[in-house]
Structures are given as structure tokens and as C-alpha cells.
Amino acid sequence: MENRDLTYAVLGTGALGGYYGGMLARGGRRVCFQVRTGFEEVKKQGLMVESCDGDFALPNAEIYAATGDMPKADVVLVCLKTTANHLLPEMLKPILKEDSLVILVQNGLLFEEELSADLPGVPIAGASAFICSFKVAPGHIKHCDFGHISFALLNKSEAACALLEKVKDDFIECGVEASVEADLPALRWRKLVWNIPYNGMTVVMETSTDKLMQDPESRKLIKDLMLETQQGAAACGVTIESEFIEKMLVYTDSMVPYAPSMKLDYDAKRPMEIKGIYSNPLKAALQKGVELKKIRMLEQQLYFKQSEYLK
């Protein structure tokens, strides 16, 4: 395995799949992109990444409409919204071979566990992306800031560890900051410290991150939600230091006014990723006997908001 190049499949060629897959393809890796919306157009024109680190085009990117048409892959980067995750087992089957590694480049807790229950024995990892990017149009990605990606395995086998190291090296060689972390729950919960307060609150309050930070009462509530996330993590055996919470607050203060992905979904009347960011963490904490009341209230408010446009 170490002596040959990996074939990557990217499911979902949006803000994440378009950027990371694009970087790998630009660096010479073989990347097969699955494009749902605007397939014909993207197949004709290829990919365009407008990046703060330099724009690039991939006119000859390998574009597919469905996984049934794609070659088998060594590594699958799942960059779909988690609201489509119930389709994953069927989507993955045509492109998996023995020891293919599936990496969920997604937000939220327990999706790796859920997928593993559906595909027993398949090596699965999670990835957490610290990036500001979005899809301008089909096949056209704009990358504004950051880009670091962290990986962690759900179940560590020697082969999977070696393969994930090679993936990380590929990312780095192709110009993306990347790292492998030891603990998947820690990777997921740390990201939730930011995602839980800001995703939900920008939707429910119909506002942006900067406004939430300016008013002392909403700022306090943001911090309360982070502290409940810390409690939930602790219940699941993950330690989040208080300094990390302070760092997230200061980091958000320094950000340009920003609409998190859930706010973009809400504004576009798309399903929101409530399950992974709220319901699953609440479930995981409750299984350990810990009730996270403010996070639960935010979840309830989000389901109400979603019910207003999604019948």
C-alpha cells in the first residue's frame, strides 16, 4: 500500500469536498468527485477554487453523478451534509474495497458510530475542518480563511492507522495543514464547543456571531452553552480545559461577522444539522446521566424553527 498512490473519492463537492478534494487533485492525487447538483455543468467545466492562498482551476477533474459510476477508492472523503447520512451505506457500497477507509468530514457526534453499525468491519475515521469556505455555484468554491483539518480513527487497526497517516501526508504535501489526533470523541466534542452555541443561536436569534458577542446577556448565554458542552464532554470521558473555552470566545471576537453553516442552511430553508450537533451530544450525555438543559432548549427551539419551513 505504502508504495502506490491512493485513489480518493469525494462525496459531496461543496464547501469542504470541493476545497479539500480540489487541493489533493491540484497536488497530483487521483480524486473522483461525486457532484449531485449541477452535474452536467460541472462535468463540462471542471472545478474552480477561489482561495485566499491563490486561485486554481481543475478543468479536467474527474466528475461523477453517482457512486455507481465511480471506481473503487482507497479513501472516501464524505463531505455531505449529515442530513443525508441515512443514504451513506447504499452510496458507499459500490466504491468500497477491502480496507477502504471512510472519513466523515462532517460536524457532529456519533455519525462514525452509526455508520459503523451499518457497515461492520469498514475502517472509519472522523475529520474536523477549521475552515471558512462556501460553494458559490456548482463546481465553484470560495475559500476565505483557515483550512486545517484533523483526523481521528473510530477503531484503530494497524492498517487503518498507516493508511490515515498516508492520507495526512498527502494533505500536507498538497498544501493543507493536517494532523492525526488520538481520540475521536475528543476531536468531536472540541469542535462542538464552538458549533453548539453559535450554530443554534445565530438561527434562533436570527443574527450573526458578532452581534451575539456584543450584547452582555447573549454573550453570557454563549458561554453558558460552552460550559454545558464541557459538562457533556466530561460525562463522555473527554476533558475540555476552561482555557479552551476562553480561547473560543476570544477567537470569535476576532472573527469577521460570520454566519455558521446552520444559519446558511436555515436562510436557504434547507434541513439543519440538528441531530449531529444537538440531539446526538444530548443523547450521549444523557446516557451518562447528565442533562444539558440549555442545549436541550436550543435543540427544541431549532426543531420549531425548522418546522416552520420543512413539513
Interface ranges with its own copies (CB under 8 A): 204-207, 211-212, 215, 217-218, 220-221, 224, 293-294, 296-301, 303-305, 307-308
Query: Least distance to its own copies from the beta carbon of 246, Å?
Result: 19
Count Cβ atoms within 10 A of the Cβ of residue 1 and give its class: 0-12 exposed, 13-18 middle, 19 or more buried. Answer: exposed
Nearer to its own copies, 121 or 216 (CB): 216
Closest distance between its own copies and the C-beta of residue 218, in Å? 4
281 to each of 107, 160, 241, 258, how far by Cα in Å?
Answer: 12, 26, 18, 24
Cβ-based nearer residue to its own copies, 36 or 223: 223
The Cα 220–Cα 237 span in angstroms is 26
HSE on the CB side for 300, CA within 13 Å?
6
Considering beta carbons, is residue 36 or 305 the nearer one to its own copies? 305
Residue 305: name the closest of 277, 260, 271 by CA. Answer: 271
Alpha carbon 286 to chain centroid distance?
24
Instruction: Pick between residue 156 and residue 294 the one whose CB is nearest to its own copies.
Output: 294
CA-angle at 135, arms to 134 and 141, nearest 5°: 90
In the complex, minimum distance from the CB of residue 121 to its own copies, in angstroms, rounded to a whole number: 36
Q: Which is nearer to its own copies, 205 or 249 (CB)?
A: 205
Cα torsion for 30, 36, 38, 43, to the nearest 10°? 30
CB of 307 to its own copies, least distance (A): 4
**Least distance (Å) from its own copies to the CB of residue 205?**
6
Selected catalytic residue, list 168, 191, 263, 275: 191
Q: Is 191 a catalytic residue?
A: yes
Just list the catalytic residues.
Answer: 191
